Structure 1
Amino acid sequence: MNKVGFLDSRLLKSFYKVFSGVAATISFILLFCDIPKQHKIVTLICTLILLLIYYIGTWRKAKNQTSITLKFGESYVDVKFGDIFKSDKDDLKVISFNEYFDTEVGKRISPRTINGKFLEMNKNRISEIQSIIAKDEHLNQEMYVSTNEKRKQGNKKRYQLGSLVDLSNNYLAVAGSKFDSEDKANVTMREYIGFLLTFWNEVNRMYNNQSVVIPVFGSGILRFTDGYAGATGQDLLEIIIWTFKISRIKIAYPSRVKIVVFQNKSDMYNLYKLKEIEKDGL
């Protein structure tokens, strides 16, 4: 279920508007009509009960919400619970790799991550994927950072975080995390935001009027090394949406950005809260 507290501040704010409207309407009616004294308490109790029922209904609706659509200018962003691999076949699905675009599932890439699942699903295409990465001109000319000759296993070329490469079959790979000497995925929060801004520019270059489907980047095993270790999946989701908003790129309708939150983690997220970003930002 959607993580929305019973006394969620946004719910209370919305409810206060309804309560104020009801109070104003009743006050207006009482200017012209008198309620018999013996009925006033009953009327008050009935009104309060109806308002409580309304509030509980609104809370349950928010809690059971499984998707939400946000609008930024001409662009739409859908957020929903689900499975990225079950997205529409014509959508571009983005899979997060590390900065080396490693393809070996095991020590470096957990089979439980989206990256690992994708590689397991495409284990007969690994050599083809490696060839695509090695031959991509934009990736190797514009987004190349350095070569790590000290690396004993895995790819040696490092690429800028946010770099995109088309793996064909409507899948894109993005360099989404750095790897330390122990092959653990990590970034600083500054790097994470920089990654997202670069990523949106890359999406703008490549989306070709198709909808783009992404996960909540970093909500799995990504470690933040600059004091943001406590960043939650909700925090990361809000940052993803915020960076899209400030990037000013346009994914024109009917194309849209779709953010898929893993269904099993739905109780960690509050979709109701996201409307705030549409209106005011973080």
Structure 2
Amino acid sequence: MVSNIYFKILKKVGFKRLRDSFISNFGLFWLFTEPGALFFPEKLNFGWIGYLWLAVIAMVFAFIQRFPRRSVCRALSSPDSEIEIKIGDLFEQQGHLVIGLNDVFDTELGEIIKPSSVQGQFLTKIYSSDRLKLDADIENALQIYNYPRNEEVNKKLGKTWRYPIGTTITLGSHDNRYFLTAYGYMSNDMTVQSNSDYIWQSLSKLWQEVRLKGHSIDVSIPIIGADLARTGLPRMALAKLIITSFVIASKEKFITRKLTVMIYPKDLSTGQKVAKVERKGFYKR
């Protein structure tokens, strides 16, 4: 599957860059071999076979130079932190994880929460599908923080207590914390609505929580606000929003040593942009 992903990324993004690298490499190799043939014509009389080998070597080097990477990482000048964009599974990462939720902190799989979503996988992979345990942990955390809430009496399915957008709680242990942040409004028809303002607000609260509870341990975050959140924003724009928010908050006060923005392999439309982010120099903010 990984090889297939790489081919698709290469096909849609890398062919022009591959061609440019091939031409550059071939010209460089030819620059050094041609003068040598003038001084050693008998030893460097390769003919067509040598010409083809030169082309093959140039192409191999071009592939090595341009083959899509699974991650791009850049250091911030201030403070001492790193930002990485990585293709992979969020739940295979070390350190702390960010889980985006709606404003009522629903956890029930099916019509309310899609099992394949980050929230759904959080329940199945981290809590072994024990929804009662997860609900209890969420409720305890919300009570500790004493967040204001309002009851949504017209909501027929799932939870009914609505919390402010940006409400963020911490679950897990010292080395493996899970930061749950509410970035979307759960409508009574079971659809989640969000926008750039909601996401920015939730990210601002998230970084505050990470400062307090993260202990500088690396943090991985999915591209929150995509798909079912109906923000209308492409994943690339959402990734930039996350990174920009982190950079601005980090300049105010240190958050963590490293933030990794995770892209699922199936989200090829975003995966194709990993190299594009690097070319645009976005990390130089």
Q: How does 1:214-253 map to 2 (within 5 A)?
A: 214-224=221-231, 228=232, 231=234, 233-249=235-251, 250-252=254-256
Q: Where in structure 2 are there 5+ consecutive unaligned residues?
A: none
Check the 8 A contact 1:234/1:269 in 2, yes or no: no
Distance 2:15 2:259 in 1: 25
Change (3 A) 1:127 1:175: closer
Distance 1:246 1:201 in 2: 12
Check the 8 A contact 2:165/2:185 in 1, yes or no: no
Matched to 2:131, the amino acid is: K
**Offset of 1:266 from its aligned partner?**
4.9
1:148-205 deviation line (CA, Å, top 9, x unaligned): 44343413232222x3201234222111212223121121233333433443333233
Q: Paired residue for 1:78?
A: 84
Q: Paired residue for 1:68?
A: 72
Distance 1:247 1:234 in 2: 20
Matched to 1:164, the amino acid is: T
Matched to 2:178, the amino acid is: Y
1:63-108 deviation line (CA, Å, top 9, x unaligned): xx222322222111233333222333xx222211101222333322
Change (3 A) 1:86 1:245: same
Q: Paired residue for 1:103?
A: 107
**Offset of 1:223 from its aligned partner?**
0.4
Distance 2:135 2:11 in 1: 52
| TM-score of the aligned structures, taking structure 2 as reference length | 0.70
Q: Paired residue for 1:156?
A: 161
Check the 8 A contact 1:238/1:277 in 2, yes or no: no
2:281 aligned with 1:274: no
Check the 8 A contact 2:114/2:120 in 1, yes or no: yes
**Offset of 1:4 from its aligned partner?**
3.5
Distance 1:9 1:281 in 2: 23
1:238-260 deviation line (CA, Å, top 9, x unaligned): 332233223335345xx422233
**Offset of 1:125 from its aligned partner?**
0.7
Distance 2:205 2:107 in 1: 22
Distance 2:221 2:171 in 1: 15
Q: Identity of paired residues, percent?
A: 16
Change (3 A) 1:168 1:50: closer
2:211 aligned with 1:211: no
Distance 1:117 1:176 in 2: 18
**Offset of 1:115 from its aligned partner?**
0.7
Distance 1:49 1:281 in 2: 36
Aligned residues between the structures:
263
- For CA contacts below 8 A with separation 6 or more, give which structure has more relative contact order: 1
Decide which of 111, 117, 123 is 2:131's aligned counterpart.
123
Matched to 1:85, the amino acid is: F
Distance 1:275 1:10 in 2: 17
| TM-score of the aligned structures, taking structure 1 as reference length | 0.71
Matched to 1:273, the amino acid is: K
Change (3 A) 1:279 1:174: closer
Distance 1:118 1:69 in 2: 26
Q: Where in structure 1 are there 5+ consecutive unaligned residues?
A: none
Matched to 2:76, the amino acid is: F
Matched to 1:239, the amino acid is: L
Change (3 A) 1:49 1:118: closer
CA RMSD, aligned part only?
4.0
Change (3 A) 1:278 1:246: farther
Decide which of 79, 93, 97 is 1:93's aligned counterpart.
97
The alignment partner of 1:4 has SS state of helix
Check the 8 A contact 1:213/1:257 in 2, yes or no: yes
Distance 1:279 1:218 in 2: 20
